[in-house]
Amino acid sequence: MSRKWERMVRKNTKISNMQRRKSGKGEISGVNADGSVIFKGRSWFLPMLLVATGVFCFIVFRNQPGQEQLYWITGASYIFLALLIYWIRRPFLKIDKKTLSSRRFGGDRFYDADQIKDITISKDAIVINFKAKGKRWVFTKIYHMFPIDSARIKLQEYAEKYNVTLIQD
């Protein structure tokens, strides 16, 4: 298909899915209109650290002279930031036609199949090594709360389709 046609299909699918959601029906398909699949995890370590910092601010700065109510705003801001990171900024792995993309701390990163050195899949982790020196993505069940079992199947298909080395532990 041409790119214009793909954009048109994606746009119309998005509109149809919005209308179907409003009427209480299910979406047209489980994958995106462009054929990509997204696996989402949940980051819990940094939000837990920010909540601990907020509680620390509540306890330590409570009786400081000259800061009557500012410690409440500081502690609440840390906790609010933790909630935003936990609920909104979720780690994901998106498998497109030829690319893998993920959210890193500096923004979204995209890599083509020819830039991937190997994919290692174990019982509780997925490691994607890239040809660029020292670059790798790690998704784990514990740290990222990532759905390893469902992502394993799609990554196996991706590795088979684009001749990427697949290592299973």
pLDDT of residue 12 exceeding 70, the answer is: yes
Average pLDDT, integer, range 119-138: 90
Average pLDDT, integer, range 70-97: 90
Across the chain, the runs of DSSP E, i.e. the strands, are 37-40, 92-95, 99-104, 107-112, 116-121, 125-130, 136-140, 165-168
Mean pLDDT for all residues in the chain: 86
Q: Using CA atoms, how far apart are residues 164 and 118, in angstroms rounded to an integer? A: 6
- Per-residue pLDDT band at 5 (split at 50, 70, 90): confident
Q: pTM of the prediction?
A: 0.71
